[in-house]
Amino acid sequence: MSGAKAAPFVPCDDAATDAALRGSLCAVERVPADPSGAAGTAGEIDLFVRKFPAEGASRGNVWLVAGGPGESGASFYGLIDTFRAAFPGFDLLLPDHRGTGFSTRMCPQEEAPGSPGGTALVNDEWGTCFARLKAAPAQARRFSQTNAAHDLKRLLERMPRHGKTYVYGVSYGTQLVLRTVALGATGIDGVVLDSLVPRQDDDKADLSRRSLVTDAVGRQVLAACDASPRCRRNMGEPAAAVYRRVLARAANDPQLLADVPGKNLKRFFGALLDVPGATGRIPYVIKELDEGKVAGLQALVAEAQQTMAQLGSFPQSPPSVPLVSLISGSENNLQPDRTAQAVREEEAGLLFASPLPGLLVNAAVPLYPRDALFARMPAQLPPILVIHGDRDAKTPLDAAERHVAALRETGPVQVYVAMGTGHFSLWWNGACTRATVRKFVLGPQDESRCFSVSSHD
């Protein structure tokens, strides 16, 4: 099917509704509902793709592959200027994975028209959706990671070529891109993997161990405070000791958590580790909480919300929870028999935590068996650049390094470590991270000073 023409791009109906969408073009591709054949179903589904044409003459295409799983291309709309700075002169193409955004969804209740929650499930839609999927497991399996990889391969091969073609993936998107390459996708001049996920068989860093990953990074932040004269003076004692005292107080005085989103300090601070600008504030907020003050906490919550707002809010922004459950449980959970009690006991001994391990227990959707592509390294790689924060609390650096070592057995891989940053390196908006990507796609630039400290092969 690679010779078939791509669906034409036309001006998007919503291009005038938000400044971030101005000038965008849209297309809907019809693709097989079950290209791998594993679900045993026929028919076709829709894939939505938004294009932001290059400003001026185009050097080629860059496909921006969102993470999640469950996120659509809308997670990038608010950062188009950042991507244009990293990939100057390229057309930017943002597909919505099957099951997300404006592509065909797992449940009709996720379709915006007529749904009170738009693309998000609300009220009794939750029960109706999950009951439907449990009654039709083949319907759920059509939304597998391998089928999504077939979709991306098809999009890449159908798009008319001009100039060069690059693929950028972040977080889960890096896994999806690598599976697409493993399927034999052709015509890719290079791949940028931002926040590279662990190998699927890495039993030190799969999703069931996310809280351990988050806790390790959180403790690094506290240790960095202890190593800083200013922060150490403010704390008056080791930061972890102050934090443990605050946690003990919160356990006995729920009112202390009144201003904490989710009423869980471990998870709140764990989530902040991947919000640009928030990490360094955590020890100071802990100290104020120890003194019974909440102004710093309130300010940090407000600032984090403002930072998150940079990503924008669009009708297809809410992640698909059914798809998150399906792919996370089927592909990236190496402890499928774990109990909720075991998760609670693990979290009790941590300082920072993630809700994800608990969400993996007793999956609400029928999971599918792993196929032959699970944990498989591509037989051949295009040139690859990995950009990664050294304080990534979702996709840990040491696991990324193990993954890189395996990838280098079949192709060239460069690595740039963005020091002091967390998940989704380009969102942290470092000039050197953008310059590193530009050098990868355009060749040497007059910015070599960015590569002397934190880049290594």
- Span 384-406, pLDDT tens digits: 999 999 999 999 999 999 999 99
pLDDT digits (tens, 9 = 90+) for 328-344: 999 999 999 999 999 99
174 assigned to some structural domain: yes
pLDDT in tens, 93-144: 999 999 999 999 998 888 766 677 778 878 888 888 999 999 999 989 999 9
Q: In CATH, what number is assigned to the domain containing residue 193? A: 3.40.50.1820
pLDDT: is 430 or 3 the higher one? Answer: 430
pLDDT at 447: 52
Does residue 159 form part of some domain? yes
Q: What span, in angstroms and rounded, lies between the C-alpha atoms of 394 and 423?
A: 6
- Residues contacting 291, CB < 8 A, separation 6+: none
Has residue 177 been placed in a domain? yes
Residue 222 covered by a domain = no
In sequence order, the β-bridge partners of residue 26 are 10, 50
Parent domain of 194: 10-202+371-456
pLDDT-based confidence at residue 4 (cuts at 50, 70, 90): low
For 212-247, write each residue's pLDDT tens digit. 999 999 999 999 999 999 999 999 999 999 999 999
CA dist 292 and 306 (Å) reads 25
Q: Residues 6 or more apart from 146 whose CB is under 8 A from it?
A: 36, 38, 179, 183, 371, 373
Rounded Cα distance, 72 and 388, in Å: 21
Q: How many domains does the chain have?
A: 1
Q: Is 40 left (phi over 0), alpha (psi -120 to 50) or beta?
A: left
Q: Tell me if residue 125 falls in helix, strand or coil.
A: helix
SS3 455: strand
- For residue 244, being part of any structural domain is answered with no
The answer, yes or no, to whether residue 450 has pLDDT greater than 80, is no
Pick from 314, 366, 354: nearest CA to 112: 314
Each residue's pLDDT tens digit, 307-318: 999 888 999 899
Task: Give the alpha-carbon dihedral of 198, 199, 200, 204, to 10 degrees.
Answer: -60
CA gap 291, 314 in Å, rounded = 40
Q: For 125-130, which contacts have Cβ atoms below 8 Å and span 24 or more sequence positions?
A: 129/322, 130/322, 130/364, 130/365
d(CA 28, CA 102): 9
Q: What is the pLDDT of residues 162-182, one digit of tens each?
A: 899 999 999 999 999 999 999
Classify burial at 421, counting beta carbons within 10 Å of its beta carbon; exposed 0-12, middle 13-18, buried 19 or more. buried
DSSP secondary structure letter of residue 6: P
The pLDDT, as a whole number, for residue 7 is: 83
Q: How far apart are CA 377 and CA 380, in angstroms?
A: 9
- pLDDT, averaged across the chain: 92
pTM score over 0.85 = yes
CB 324 within 8 A of CB 120: no
Return the pLDDT at 455: 37
Q: How confident is the model at residue 382 (pLDDT cuts 50, 70, 90)?
A: very high
> Looking at 35-39, 56-60, 299-303, 447-451, which range is the least confident one?
447-451
Grade residue 456 by pLDDT with cuts at 50, 70 and 90.
Answer: very low
Residue owning tokens 């919160």: 250
pLDDT on residue 295: 95
Could you tell me if residue 100 is inside a domain?
Answer: yes
Indicate whether 92 pLDDT > 90: yes
> What is the predicted pLDDT for the residue at 449?
59
Say how many Å lie between the first and final Cα of the chain, rounded: 38
Q: Are 423 and 393 in contact (CB under 8 A)?
A: yes
Kindly state the DSSP code that residue 265 receives in the 8-state scheme.
H
Residue with structure tokens 């934190």?
454
Distance CA(100)–CA(205), nearest Å, equals: 26
Residue 161: predicted pLDDT? 84
Residue 152 has pLDDT above 90, yes or no: yes
Tokens 């990838």: give the residue.
Answer: 407
Cα 119 to Cα 112: distance, rounded to the nearest angstrom: 5
Q: Is residue 376 part of a domain?
A: yes
Question: Which positions ≥6 away from 127 have C-beta within 8 Å?
Answer: none
| Residues 181, 379: Cα–Cα separation, whole Å | 9
The answer to the question of residue 404 being in a domain is yes
Q: Which strand (E) or helix (H) includes residue 50?
A: strand 44-52
Q: Is 299 within 8 Å of 278 (Cβ atoms)?
A: no
Task: Please write the tens of the pLDDT for every residue from 251-297.
Answer: 988 888 999 999 999 999 999 999 999 999 999 999 999 999 999 99
